[in-house]
Amino acid sequence: MANATTRIRVHTDGSAQAAVNQLKFDLYEAIVLRDRGIKLVAQNNPHFLTVARNVARQIAMRQGEVTSDDVRRECPIDPLHHNAWGGIWKGKEWEWTGEYRTSHIVSRHGGEQKVWRLR
């Protein structure tokens, strides 16, 4: 369902202009697009995902659980695109514990991250 909202956009010269934004609220479509994006990024980063999943597996076996922060701390390579980090947890090997932890990575701005364990 699309909702039109009118907002006033103020330019640096002080002039103002009305702008109409189309906001679309559709959880199903949002999830489909998220998963499609993760799949696309994962297809373009196969070596990274192999390495990162091995790191995640080692951490989970050592600690019993793992977060993205844990993997990012120990992973020796970076992905071609930052969204590839989410692809680590796709597949039947991982299950979410039901817990969240706050990320300590500055660029994540204190966002929540899921805690994972091996099945």
Mean pLDDT is highest, among 20-29, 39-48, 59-68, for: 59-68
Burial degree of 75 (CB within 10 A; 0-12, 13-18, 19+): buried
The answer to whether 88 and 68 have CB atoms below 8 angstroms apart is yes
CATH of 28-118, one of 1.10.10, 3.40.630, 2.60.40, 3.40.50: 1.10.10
Q: Which stretches of the chain are assigned E, i.e. beta strand?
A: 2-10, 16-24, 94-102, 112-118
Confidence (pTM): 0.72
Rounded-to-integer distance, Cα 45 and Cα 88, Å: 11
Q: Is the pLDDT of residue 112 over 90?
A: yes
Candidates 42, 66, 43; CA nearest to 54 is: 66
Residue listed under structure tokens 């369902």: 1
Q: What is the mean pLDDT of the chain?
A: 87
**Average pLDDT in the 77-84 region?**
89
Of how many residues is the chain composed? 119
